[in-house]
Amino acid sequence: MASKKIIIANWKQNGSLRSLYTLTNQIIRAIKLKKIKHSIAILPPHVYLPMLSKQVLSNKKLKNLSIGVQNVSAFPDGAYTGEVSFEMCKDFGSKYFLVGHSERRQLFSESDALISKKVSRLLSCNKKVVLCVGETLAERNKKLEKKVISKQLTSALSLLSQGSNIKTNNIIVAYEPIWAIGSGKSASNKDIYNTHFFIKKKLATRFKSCKILPKIIYGGSVNNMNSKDILSIEGVDGALVGGASLNAKKFIEICSSI
């Protein structure tokens, strides 16, 4: 069997109480029927975390299904109107914390500095971070993708001191080329391989004293037609799926494609 992957469903600002409950049940059923062998995480909107975590966590046998959130505050309790801390999400079983998604960076002006605060706070508290990086189409057309990703990675990890005892297996880097998100056009297999290889080399240098390197997953128009090819690329440890993860049939096919 192929090595175990991590496949993460980012539901973004989509769904309703009823639709996400049904979707979660369908995923649970597929796992119980042993259709899915990989590790799966669902990232619902924050408000649905309490309900869906009950659904996920009450199934003790579902070891490979976890829940997480799409964004988290950089700060502990305090006067931060509208923000939600990781401690609050953890109360409802959140295991994964997505940070630095391009939609947060572009639509909500999240800066590299804020993202690095979030990353260091989560990692220093032994939490699992899914850190998104990726270039725009304009940057890609100017062949700047490596430079951009390198800067995003360096900045996101900049507040962690070299000798700190953070666990590298708490880090997942998601390579999401922005032009591939929601466009129906994923990056080519060759580009995915090359970029993952580049990220891996950077991480190997950054964490040279660590035995385990962070996992690297791909996101951007992953669907049930291309998932087998993408998940089979050397260096791809999993996928971050947006649109197709809102459709139970498609998402289950993605998760069981290799």
Catalytic machinery residues: 101, 176
Residue with smaller CB distance to ligand 13P, 10 or 66:
10
Q: CB of residue 111 vs ligand 13P: minimum separation in angstroms?
A: 19
Residue with smaller CB distance to ligand 13P, 53 or 221:
221
Residue with smaller CB distance to ligand 13P, 131 or 181:
181
Residues in the chain: 258
Pairwise CA distance, residues 68 & 48, whole Å = 11
Q: CB of residue 246 vs ligand 13P: minimum separation in angstroms?
A: 9
Q: CB of residue 33 vs ligand 13P: minimum separation in angstroms?
A: 25
Q: Give the CB-nearest residue to ligand 13P.
A: 242
Q: Spell out the long-range contacts of 121-125 with Cβ–Cβ below 8 A and sequence spacing 24 or more.
A: 121/74, 121/75, 121/76, 121/86, 122/72, 122/86, 122/97, 122/170, 123/160, 123/166, 123/167, 123/170, 123/171, 124/160, 124/164, 124/166, 125/86
Residue with smaller CB distance to ligand 13P, 52 or 244:
244
Positions touching ligand 13P (CB under 6 A) are: 10, 101, 176, 181-182, 219-222, 240-244
Q: Which helix (H) or strand (E) holds 77?
A: none
Q: Spell out the long-range contacts of 28-32 with Cβ–Cβ below 8 A and sequence spacing 24 or more.
A: 28/55, 28/56, 28/59, 28/62, 28/65, 30/248, 30/252, 30/255, 30/256, 31/62, 31/64, 31/65, 32/59, 32/61, 32/62
Q: CB of residue 211 vs ligand 13P: minimum separation in angstroms?
A: 29
